[in-house]
Each structure stands twice: as structure tokens, then as C-alpha cells.
Chains A and B, each alone.
Chain A
Amino acid sequence: MKNKIRIGCGAGFSGDRLEPALILAEKGELDYLVLECLAERTIALAQKRKLQDPTKGYDPLLERRIRLLLPALKRNNIRLITNMGAANPIAAANKIIDIARELKINIQVAAVSGDNVLANIDPQQKAMETNAPLNASGNLISANAYMGIDAILPALETGADIIITGRVADPSLFLAPAIHEFGWPLDDFELLGKGTVIGHLLECAGQVTGGYFADPQKKDVPDLAHLGHPFADIFPDGSAIIGKVKGTGGTINLLTAKEQLLYEVTNPYEYYTPDVIADFTTVYLKETGKDSISMSGGSGKAKPLTYKVSVGYQAFYLGEGEISYAGSNALGRAKLAGSIIQERLKDMFPEMKIDYIGSTSVHHTSFGNTAEPYEIRLRIAAKADTAEKAAIIGEEIEALYTNGPAGGGGARTNVKEVIGVISTLIDRKIVEPVITLYQS
């Protein structure tokens, strides 16, 4: 058994930068590289792409990421674990094999599927958010169970160089290799809780190394243009040291680690994953050097009997339009424009939002700050049941040029279909992970 493993996280969301993962693979002395690229809604969108073309439905950046990383992964003997399979891990595995053959690199790829449970859920089942039947929200287009280590461990045991999954819980991507290497018992929930905390710290990549943290003069972070992504040295007792490659931008300190530890945690005593219910209230963090944080403690209790399922549905078409006003009485002219749109469209669009960008658009208030901004951008957004109807919002914004207040400029319009996501639970026994192996 190894006395330490090193896992890097080279992407924290689907659209993340490409080169930090390459730097980790080349210089990070990693055992494993994880790319976490799947958000709640991403998989529903991927499902739509798969319906249109059965060879698609995996992450749109998969080809570019794999092409970039494969030579360094092979050279340095690093195993890759990623959820870039999205709605179609099998097609993703085939694409990776194609790229490997083209680059003349010999690898084995394990696809992990089985998370698609659309056929297994009852549309009348209640949604956790609305307490109403799932299909009351709209036409269901996808349902994916958050699988965990149970799905990833068998793939690791095949010895595959690349493990490509669909929907699995983010921390499981990191916990599985730790269990695989250290032989942690699957019912040792204290160790599984610790491993989950480590995964949670890493899963958003740059968010623990100084990304999403900086504020000039107050919370300075060096060289965000070349932000390094993190790795963790994980020890058999479930403790870890978080670091990054020397020479990369960013910073790791107590402040960045604490912000990330609490990120998206709805209950620090009970952080639910498919593997364990982790306890974050016993985690201790310590600065152990420049850009180095040690993590100890953390705990957990028995895993839930159900998997959480993300259900995608056809929600509505979003119509949007924006136009700017600047100079004297910019806010007054923007508000006049807003009231014109309101008067013309309120009966047609019961759900419409009017925002004054530069003033109160994202906080819905300015907390008593009364200084009037020099320029304001009016934004109108509304829900419609067809794309044609949604387009009316933009048409009305553009019509403000010649029919509205003085000095409007820079109109932009947008129409897009919105996929909503709600959640439900499914009995674990119904979900069967499937491992499929491919050789280049």
C-alpha cells in the first residue's frame, strides 16, 4: 500500500480553462488527475444533444481536453478520472479511443454508465423542490442519478488509464481513488467523510487556489491570468495537504481554503453524498507553508439509502433585450424605457423582469447607496411558451431606438430555450452501474 497519493483537479466546471490541467499533468507529479465538468443543468443539455445525434451528448470540450492531456498523462503514468461523459459516457470513451489511435498512444478507457434513470422514475413522483409531481413542472427530458464510489471503484479495478463517467457526485471522483489505493473499508464512514471533505476542497479547482477570491488591495491574489489548479497529497489516515505547482499563479491560504470548504454546503453537520453523510464541523485547516494547507479531522456517518436524481424538463423560452443610457438622467431615461415596455407587454408576458444594470439588477436593492451611476443598461427578460413569442422582447427593445427615450444605444437581443432542473430520490437498488472497457 502506498503511504501517500497525489490527486490533482484540473477543471472545476465544463467551461474551465484548459491549460491548468496540462501544467498539473506535466509538472504536478500526480498519481491521478480529475476533471470535474458536470453541473446540474449540463447533463440535461447534453441529453438534448444526444437525442439529436446519438454519437454526441458528452462534454463539448472533451476532444480538446483529451488531445491536450493524453501525451503527458501517458508519459507520466497518470490515471484520469472525469465526468465528461455527461449524457453519453460510451460515445465519450469511443471518442477518446479515436484520439488515442490518432496520436498512436496505447491506452485503456473505462466508461461508467447507468446513471440514466429516466425509464425508472415515475413522472408522478414528487419533486423535492416543489412537492408536486415531477411532470407538473414540464415535459421531462432527462433523469440522472448521482452515483458514487460504487460506480467508480469497479472501473478503477479494471486498471483502465482513463475512467469516464456520467452523473456521479463530485467528491466521489476524488474519494474513489483514495479508497482504491488505501483499501479503506466502504463502511468506515469516518474515513469516507474525511475523503469527501478533501474532494469537496478540490472539486472546484481554482476556487481553492485563489480563484473567485480576489479583490484588489483587500484580498490580493498574484497572477490570476496563470492561476494554478490544486492537488492534494492524501494520506492513509484521511488527512491531506493541498498545494499547487510552483510558478503558477494564485494563492492557497487559510482564507481561500475556508471559503471553499463552506462553498455550497447547506448543512455542515450533514453533507449528503451517495457515499457518506459527511461532517464538516470537525475539520481543521492549517497553513503549512507558502501555498500549502493541511487538512485534518472531518468525519461522517452511514450513506443514505437513496440516490438523488436530477430531472431535466422543458421549462420555457427566455426572451431578453438590453439597451444602454448614459450621461445626464441616464437612470431616468432607462426607467422611462422600462415603463414603456411594461405598458406594452405586461398582458402578453405575466412573468417579466425589468432590470437596471449598474444600479439594482443583481442585488435587487442598493442598500441605501444613492449615488446615481453615470450609465445604466436596461434589461428586460420574460418567459414565453414559444421561441417566436420570446423574440418579441428583443423586438420591443430594438423599437426603443426610434420610439423610446433619447440616447438609447447598444441594443442586444437573445432568445434561448431553458431547461429546468428539479430533484427527486430513487432507491439505490434500482440503479446499476455499468462498466464498459475499450482499448486503443
Chain B
Amino acid sequence: MAKAVGITPTRMELLRLRQRVALAQKGHDLLREKMDALVIEFFGIVRRIRDARVKAMRRLEAAYHALSLCFALQGTIETHQAAREARKELVVDISTRHVMGILVPVFDVRPIERHALARGYSLYATSSALDEASREFEKVLGGLLKLAELEEGARVIALELEKTKRRVNALKYVILPGLKAMVKFISMRLDEMERENFSRLKRIKAMLEARE
């Protein structure tokens, strides 16, 4: 029976296995706590994404409305021409924050709204509708970057959550039951050996008494 399981039923092995069970149990408990914490983080970030998306969509709606007005008042070709002339620069400071060993990006955006003169297109050839549309889109950009930061955070947290859950399940359903079965097997085998020894001794004692 011992050969079928592939372990040697000794006291030393039993002690070693008990240590392995304790380690696996500790690992399971802590990883489960980590998983719970990741779930909290994930739902927190999802809630923030929902709010940021609603805000961004509202601002985008206003920005596209302003752009439509600009197209109507100034003309499509002129608006496209002004867009080509505009300065396309954005300073973003990308850093990180830690969420339980996961690096989540943090975008620190400098104020995006620019003065009409700083945008780069000719004020002479364009109407105020273009300034209004530009301002609206500059307002949107900060919100979109915040949304990107949150969505990337949610993605990395979800990946880590999946990985942690797989480990917790492996420990709970495969490793711990396997180790516990081995401990049980060795304990039973040792008990059996003890009983065998006991009956052997009794038999020898009876034989010796009979001889005398």
C-alpha cells in the first residue's frame, strides 16, 4: 500500500508532511485574504471607472456639440485646417502606486486648458466657435486620461485576482487534500505497524512461556 502512494511511512516523513500541511494552510489563509483584498480593490476601482466614464461621456457630448457648431459656423475644411495647425502637446507625468504588489499607473496631468493664443492656429482666420470647441476638448482630455489610468488599474488588478484565485483553489482543492491524505495514510500505517509489533511481541512472549 505504501508503494502505491509513493511515500515511505516513517515518523520522520510524518513530521515533514505535517510541516508541509502547516505551510500550505498558512499560504492558503494568507492568499485568501489577499484575494478578498483584491476583490475590494477591484470593485472600488470599477465604481470609480463608472463615475469617470459618465463624466467623460457627458463632457464628450458637450465637446462634440461644440465641434458640430464650429463645423456649421466656420466650415469643415477651415476647422480641419485649424486642427492641423494647432500645437499637439501634452505633458503627462506617469508614476506608479502599489496595490498589494501590483504596480498601478498614476497619470499626473498638468492643466490642459490653454489660452486661445497658445493653441497655435490663426485667430484671424477662425471663429470663436473653434475656441469654444477646443476648450471643451481640452477639458475632456484630462477626464479621458483619468479614465485610462483607472481602466489600466482595473485590468492589472483583475489579472492578479485571477492568478491569486487559481492559487487559492489549487491549495484548497488539490494540495491541502493531497497532503492531508498522505498524513492520514502514514498515521494509519504507523498505527498498523505498532499493532503488528504489539501482537508479534505478545506471540513471542506466549511462545517463550510455552517453552518454559
Decide if A and B are genuine partners.
no
B→A interface (CB under 8 Å): none
